[in-house]
A = this chain, B = another copy of it.
Amino acid sequence: MSANDEMSLSRRRFLHLVGVIGGSTAAYQAALGLGALPTVALAQPPDIAPLPKGIRKSVLILGACIAGLVSAYELTRRGYDVQVLEASERVGGRVWTVRGGDVIDEVGHRQVCNFDREPHLYFNAGASRIPGEHLALLGYWRELNVELEPFVNLNRDAWVQDDALFGGKRLRNREYVNETRSFVAELGTKSIKPEMLDEQLTAADYKAVLEYLRQFGRLDINLKAARSKRTTSAGFAGPDAMKQLFNSRILSGMAYGESEDQQPVMLVPVGGMDKIVDAFMKKIGKYVQIGARVETLNLTEKGVRVVYRRKGREQESLADFCINSIPMQLLAGIDHNFPNEYAAGLTAVPRGKYFKLAFQAKERFWEREGIYGGISWTMQDISQMWYPSNGIHKQKGVILGAYTFAGAAGDKFAALSPDQRAALAKQQGEKLHPGYSNFVEHGVSVAWHRINHMLGCAAAWNESLRAQWFDRLQSPAGHHYLVGDQMSHLPSWQEGAVQSAFHAIADIDQRVREANT
């Protein structure tokens, strides 16, 4: 997936209304037609009453990720019997906070994190920020009393860097954004004429448009850009500077932080994203078994039958329903009896090859450059560098030294050993921060498509795949429900996982009640 694909996907990701997020593709398309209307409606769990007395229903939940944990939490509260099987040795799925001493269970690249053990030194290897309008998810943070703080996503003082731009010299995001805006605004004021406005708009409205452009581009009162008089910090000026700025691939919206799901506000838990997992586990941990690997999954007439292996022993679980967050491409490889048209969908959607690498920084060198949190962008393989929003002015910090979402860079990093990855990230980081290599240590990395029991990151839906497969896969196969962010309109976001769980449990509960009336 190229950076451009990523951006247009982001646009699509956003274009849903909460009311339809768990719903059908048809409803989703309707929302698309409406466009980016206000994003926030109250997103509550399905309004489900406790099971009537005397009725017992069991739900087998596969995967102790956010979708699985939410399902277990909501169902047990309503009297359902649940069992949660998790294949790996940890819970949380792609909500994973790595701290000093933790093991990274990547195929062939097992690593131990050597960060100092201080509360602010951790690495959110998967989910790492929560948009303020993800209210279903945020409702759990409130309810379970898990502390949040603002996450700095956009920082105009961070750097952008492209070897094809200004000889590869870094420049401030602020400069990049302000210069291009002023150029476009000046062009706009020259070219937009009153007669181009819709007929109901008047000369006064035209003036308002010019005033908009003036403010947007920081033009002077004569609608001229100060820009044209000056030299950029990298020493380029005038048309040549503009030529380079506009032709840089960084321009593809990335440096702007303005795609809808990246706009402020974003939030982050105090102390690591897995605090929410801990909070769920306190409530429903007793139903969860880790290291339980599903070998067979059969739909039966009345429910599901699952055979799994745990501590070397094969065990069987029978349940009335199954809520399943196993990554679809892995599920396809398990012995199952899904209908063919359902099974075919499991391998239809490719998975992202996201790669993240974190360093412990011996000192917070970025703060001395006036960078407090946020993201620098580069066209090199590392793609992004994230500075921590927390621990401001402490001695050390954990810096994200690479975050790639393009498949090629993901493959490149994945093929390297952990040490080689760290070396490459250091080398490329030097272009953003000269001397970088000397400041960072203890690199740890996660190539999601190589993590055991995962072997892929977010499901990479596109419009045609969604049209072909989404409704079918979201609908149950017998008593079996696919969930997870993979089965939502918000792949890669926890909110998608929560909404997928809401959809499944609402449907299950409705079936249970209909069967009992």
**Contacts from A to B (Cβ < 8 Å):** 7, 11, 33-40, 42, 132-133, 135, 138, 141-142, 145, 147-152, 154-157, 171-172, 174-175, 178, 180, 184, 187-188, 190-193, 196-202, 204-205, 208-209, 211-213, 215-216, 218, 226-227, 229-233, 238-240, 242-243, 246-247, 251-253, 256, 258, 260, 263-265, 267, 367-374, 389-390, 392-393
Q: How far is the CB of A203 from chain B (nearest CB, A)?
A: 12
**Known A230-B33, A374-B264; contact A198-B239, beta-carbon cutoff 8 A:** yes
Residues of chain B lying within 8 A (CB to CB) of residue A215: 7, 251-253, 256
Query: Which of B36, B145, B370 lies in contact with A39, CB distance below 8 A?
Result: B370
- Residues B150 and A246 in contact, CB atoms below 8 Å apart: no
Q: How far is the CB of A265 from chain B (nearest CB, A)?
A: 5
- Residues A392 and B178 in contact, CB atoms below 8 Å apart: no
Residues of chain B lying within 8 A (CB to CB) of residue A374: 264-265
- Residues B33 and A178 in contact, CB atoms below 8 Å apart: no
Q: How many angstroms from the CA of A393 to the CA of B218 in the assembled complex?
A: 38
Query: Which of B135, B138, B393 lies in contact with A145, CB distance below 8 A?
Result: B393
Query: Which of B156, B175, B192, B393 lies in contact with A188, CB distance below 8 A?
Result: B192
**Known A35-B229, A246-B208; contact A267-B150, beta-carbon cutoff 8 A:** no
Could you jot down 11 A-B contacts, CB within 8 Å?
Answer: A7-B215, A33-B230, A38-B171, A42-B368, A132-B157, A135-B370, A141-B393, A154-B264, A184-B188, A188-B192, A216-B253
- Residues B212 and A157 in contact, CB atoms below 8 Å apart: no
A interface majority secondary structure:
mixed
- Known A133-B370, A135-B368; 6 more pairs at CB < 8 Å: A132-B371, A156-B263, A200-B239, A211-B251, A215-B251, A215-B256
- Residues B393 and A148 in contact, CB atoms below 8 Å apart: yes
- Residues B34 and A230 in contact, CB atoms below 8 Å apart: yes
- Residues A246 and B184 in contact, CB atoms below 8 Å apart: no
- Residues A36 and B242 in contact, CB atoms below 8 Å apart: no
- Residues A233 and B38 in contact, CB atoms below 8 Å apart: yes
Q: How many angstroms from the CA of A247 to the CA of B211 in the assembled complex?
A: 10
Query: Which of B184, B205, B253, B371 lies in contact with A209, CB distance below 8 A?
Result: B184
- Residues B148 and A150 in contact, CB atoms below 8 Å apart: no
Which of A171, A209, A231 neighbours the largest number of chain B CB atoms within 10 Å of its CB? Answer: A209
The chain B residue with its CB closest to the CB of A171 is: B38
Q: How many angstroms from the CA of A258 to the CA of B174 in the assembled complex?
A: 10
Q: How far is the CB of A472 from chain B (nearest CB, A)?
A: 27
Residues of chain B lying within 8 A (CB to CB) of residue A240: 200
Query: Which of B34, B196, B208 lies in contact with A190, CB distance below 8 A?
Result: B196
Q: How far is the CB of A343 from chain B (nearest CB, A)?
A: 34
- Residues A174 and B142 in contact, CB atoms below 8 Å apart: no
- Residues B265 and A372 in contact, CB atoms below 8 Å apart: yes
Residues of chain B lying within 8 A (CB to CB) of residue A233: 37-38
The chain B residue with its CB closest to the CB of A170 is: B38
- Residues A38 and B175 in contact, CB atoms below 8 Å apart: yes
The chain B residue with its CB closest to the CB of A218 is: B11
Residues of chain B lying within 8 A (CB to CB) of residue A188: 184, 187-188, 191-192
**Known A33-B229, A174-B260, A393-B148; contact A40-B157, beta-carbon cutoff 8 A:** yes
Q: How many angstroms from the CA of A198 to the CA of B241 in the assembled complex?
A: 11
- Residues B264 and A212 in contact, CB atoms below 8 Å apart: no
- Residues A260 and B155 in contact, CB atoms below 8 Å apart: no
Q: How many angstroms from the CA of A273 to the CA of B11 in the assembled complex?
A: 38
- Residues A265 and B155 in contact, CB atoms below 8 Å apart: yes
**Known A172-B38, A238-B198; contact A152-B246, beta-carbon cutoff 8 A:** no
Q: How many angstroms from the CA of A42 to the CA of B369 in the assembled complex?
A: 7
Residues of chain B lying within 8 A (CB to CB) of residue A389: 150
- Shortest beta-carbon contacts, A-B, top 8: A40-B370, A198-B239, A208-B246, A191-B191, A200-B239, A215-B253, A156-B263, A35-B226
Q: How many angstroms from the CA of A270 to the CA of B82 in the assembled complex?
A: 42
Q: How many angstroms from the CA of A193 to the CA of B201 in the assembled complex?
A: 23
**Known A35-B226, A174-B38; contact A196-B187, beta-carbon cutoff 8 A:** yes
Q: How far is the CB of A451 from chain B (nearest CB, A)?
A: 30
Residues of chain B lying within 8 A (CB to CB) of residue A197: 187, 239
Q: How far is the CB of A220 from chain B (nearest CB, A)?
A: 10
Residues of chain B lying within 8 A (CB to CB) of residue A239: 197-201
The chain B residue with its CB closest to the CB of A149 is: B149
Residues of chain B lying within 8 A (CB to CB) of residue A11: 218
